Structure 1
Amino acid sequence: MTFAMEPILLLCLSLLAHGAEAACREARFGGAVLPLRAQQLVLAPTQAPPANRLRFRHDVSLTVPVAVGAPPQNVTMVLDTGSELSWLLCNGSRVPSASAPPRAPGAFNGSASSTYAAAHCSSPECQWRGRDLPVPPFCAGPPSNSCRVSLSYADASSADGVLAADTFLLGGAPPVRALFGCITSYSSTTANGNDAATNSSEAATGLLGMNRGSLSFVTQTGTLRFAYCIAPGDGPGLLVLGGDGAALSAPQLNYTPLIEISQPLPYFDRVAYSVQLEGIRVGAALLPIPKSVLAPDHTGAGQTMVDSGTQFTFLLADAYAPLKGEFLNQTTALLAPLGEPDFVFQGAFDACFRASEARVAAASQLLPEVGLVLRGAEVAVGGEKLLYRVPGERRGEGGAEAVWCLTFGNSDMAGMSAYVIGHHHQQNVWVEYDLQNSRVGFAPARCDLATQRLGARA
């Protein structure tokens, strides 16, 4: 879920890490390897966010290059395993702003594509009434009789437009036809005027929804397996497509099963990649968190989701509080607490410190590793991934010290009812989504090396 779309996509990196490069290249036959990049960007100029809203969903996003239509138009799409319907900012898109509303950058021009077709009110697509989208497609009525879509996310961004179909080309894979939202109005609160993202020259054209919903790109294209590897910083990672992967499941991967709940519950997202969190450790200390706190309750609140569309990781308060306390206890000799009780970064991160960049660099290798213990697997977070430097915040004489916050946030403070494992903590981890066997696999990896070996270039 974003905080808030061909062939089958397949694991290669763990094979490369163990010298099986030939097998990995063979697996690419009939598929493709796409560059995946974590970068600061915005979809368009944005207004200042309201209080207590998440502002960072598109500050740092995972983006992939895609070609859409005939002739192909190159677009950049945010890879989001937490969203369903893919969408593109379309020609004529406007974004609300205090001044004259600007046109969206790099918008897709449907009228220039011979394979583009907007869905009409009478089409079967517009009559779709699945259970996955909060607001299903609906008819706008005369005179246009267009089929409309309206999407909203937990970070208060929203998108409105028409339901349409066109061909998508990802890497060297054959083109596939898929439904998507052709967005004509987009509003975002993910960055403010002081964020570097607002001034970035990069701009995303849309979002590729990869969850398990009926209208996701995964479901529409019959994808049974896909994988990605995120390089730290702005280095290139990769998204791997091609082959069935049945004979290439690497034993080094640790898998955790996807959690299914058949009955509808108000706070349980049934199309998310939901896994079971069984414990949290800080260093060698397993936190005394009751199992009931880590499992969905009778309303569905408390599920754990693996989400490429959310930057950081969020824990419910009853798990966040002991994590924060134990981390502070184990780092007293390494980091000086910020000492400002009212300072909360992005409305959800209040375990913060003040230190110079040199101090943090020296301390990063001594910080206790935080492990998210899943059923059959673990996501281990250590070193530089544990701290995030807050943009624009300096302390001390001459601003010698920066402000750093622990990269685990409090879900309750952010208005969420779930645990979310964000992409910042998936860096240098090969993540495989195996829909055929209802599981997610994790393996430590060097994503930059895998990108070089597979020839994925931005």
Structure 2
Amino acid sequence: MVTSSPQVSFQVDIARPHSNLDLTIMQLIRHVIKRKRFNTPAPNSTPYPNFESLVFQAEEEFIMSLSLGTPPQRFAVIMDTGSDLIWTQCMPCYTCYHQPTSIFNPNTSSSFSPLPCTNSLCTGSRTKKCETNLCKYKTLYGDKSFTRGYLATDTFILGDYILNVSIPNIAFGCGDNNSGSGLDIVAGIVGLGRGPLSLVSQLKSKKFSYCLPMLGENMKGTLSFGSLADKGCNNASNSQSTPILVNPASPSHYYLSLVAISLDDILLPITKTTFEIKKDGSGGVILDTGTTLTYLVQEAYQVLKQEFITRTRLHVVFFPYTTDLDLCFQTPTGRNASSFNYPKLKLHFEGNVVLELPKDNYLTEDKRARTMCLTIMPSNGMSLLGSQLQQNFVVLHDLEKQTVSFFPSQCAYD
């Protein structure tokens, strides 16, 4: 039953493509150390129904399912709050990576239409240009993945084959030249950023939320829009929220005002201005689902690292298979091993929001090597809160109030 009613709500099951691989969490993390998917803003269009969609983690990123075209062709795509563009590989493909499903063929969709060069989505960005009456685009991500092609519109179906919503005239990138490490499990990326070409902007959603399961779990989480976005937000009306900040130099990202970090309820000696957005557009703290690890600017990271070593009081180790991460400890043995307490990490945001993190959101254990590693890394220029740090929270974006709220939750679904 396909419907275009703006009041439709639904949930869809999504398979995990790497469920048959026996990878440890540490092996997954080693795949993602250099995977930071940032790109430039992009460009708006159409209102939207409420929907909820299950997402799952494939190695290091979260995947949602959608169908495109008339008749619909079904694909798996990465959901990414750190970018804007919706894109998929398209025929004829001049340079394309291998994907598990057939590449989208525009010629077989009766609802497909190239975007005119005069459309505001084409004229509003430096990443696009008119060529042979097509609105050409190119997007380069921080991990050197890229997509090139032209913009078009078509009908998107979000949901499963029984209960779903059909949304016409969604603009997306038809990529005929694409490449990138780790993209071979999907057909493309769905950007959920703040730019006009993102799914959030095109659907004119006032709210969306997601609930991400733990890294390494063969389980599903949820991505929800509209009235369903509040699902799992206990006492949402009384909750304290932190504002979404705007960085004029990068307006498509969700910046948060991180004001302090504490370990075991002791505030670290980090200057508040360390996390502020600078006048030149550098700095700031981005909330991003498209990156697994968390990155802090050097000044803050070095303070956290040293205090973590002091409070943990375990031997710091440097083994070849753990050196991808900056800080690892030899785990304790004997009677005290199971009761050993690692430092409790809290993030303090504007609005008196204190996010107390479960241990698994910032530490990862390699039991075979008897090591425990901090999954926070140093960064230059800006900070980023990745998906592992956000796991097992409902993360609610209220775009009308311009706030983000965190609600502890068990996000795993069978």
Q: Distance in 2 between matches of 1:407 and 1:94?
A: 38
1:405 aligns with 2:384: no
Q: Distance in 2 between matches of 1:59 and 1:228?
A: 18
Tell me if the contact between 2:206 and 2:226 (Cα under 8 Å) persists in the aligned partners.
no
Cα-to-partner distance string for 1:16-42 (whole Å, 9 max, x where unaligned): xxxxxxxxxxxxx5222345788769x
Q: Partner of 2:278: helix, strand, or coil?
A: coil
Q: Partner of 1:401: helix, strand, or coil?
A: coil
Bigger shift: 311-320 or 68-77?
A: 68-77
Tell me if the contact between 2:253 and 2:286 (Cα under 8 Å) persists in the aligned partners.
yes
Tell me if the contact between 2:35 and 2:291 (Cα under 8 Å) persists in the aligned partners.
no
Q: Distance in 2 between matches of 1:340 and 1:308?
A: 29
| 1:422 counterpart letter in structure 2 | G
Query: CA 1:90–1:273 in 2, change beyond 3 Å: closer, same or farther?
Result: same
Q: Distance in 2 between matches of 1:36 and 1:282?
A: 37
Cα-to-partner distance string for 1:43-100 (whole Å, 9 max, x where unaligned): xxxxxxxxx981476841011111111111111111111101111122344657xxxx
The residue that corresponds to 2:403 in the other structure is: 439
1:272 aligns with 2:253: yes
Query: CA 1:325–1:214 in 2, change beyond 3 Å: closer, same or farther?
Result: same
Tell me if the contact between 1:32 and 1:241 (Cα under 8 Å) persists in the aligned partners.
no
**Unmatched tracts of structure 2, length 5 or more:** 20-31, 38-57
Q: Partner of 1:353: helix, strand, or coil?
A: strand
Tell me if the contact between 1:7 and 1:223 (Cα under 8 Å) persists in the aligned partners.
no
The residue that corresponds to 2:360 in the other structure is: 384
Tell me if the contact between 1:316 and 1:410 (Cα under 8 Å) persists in the aligned partners.
yes
Tell me if the contact between 2:148 and 2:177 (Cα under 8 Å) persists in the aligned partners.
yes
Give the number of equivalent residue pairs: 369
Cα-to-partner distance string for 1:191-210 (whole Å, 9 max, x where unaligned): 9xxxxxxxxxx811111111
| 1:150 counterpart letter in structure 2 | K
Cα-to-partner distance string for 1:329-361 (whole Å, 9 max, x where unaligned): 11124xx3114699741xxx3112345999998
Q: Partner of 1:239: helix, strand, or coil?
A: strand
1:74 aligns with 2:113: no
- Normalising to structure 2: TM-score of the pair? 0.79
The residue that corresponds to 1:118 in the other structure is: 114
Superposed, 1:204-353 pairs within 5 Å as 204-232=186-214, 233-243=217-227, 250-251=236-237, 253-261=239-247, 264=248, 268-333=249-314, 336-339=315-318, 344-345=323-324, 349-353=325-329
Shift of 1:173: 2.7
Shift of 1:109: 2.3
| 1:406 counterpart letter in structure 2 | L
Query: CA 1:218–1:280 in 2, change beyond 3 Å: closer, same or farther?
Result: same
Tell me if the contact between 1:63 and 1:79 (Cα under 8 Å) persists in the aligned partners.
yes
1:158 aligns with 2:146: yes
Q: Distance in 2 between matches of 1:276 and 1:88?
A: 33
| 2:342 counterpart letter in structure 1 | L
Bigger shift: 235-244 or 223-232?
A: 235-244
Query: CA 1:118–1:270 in 2, change beyond 3 Å: closer, same or farther?
Result: same
**Unmatched tracts of structure 1, length 5 or more:** 1-5, 9-28, 42-51, 97-101, 192-201, 395-399, 453-458
CA RMSD for the aligned pairs?
A: 3.4
Tell me if the contact between 2:154 and 2:170 (Cα under 8 Å) persists in the aligned partners.
yes
Q: Distance in 2 between matches of 1:257 and 1:87?
A: 29
- Normalising to structure 1: TM-score of the pair? 0.72
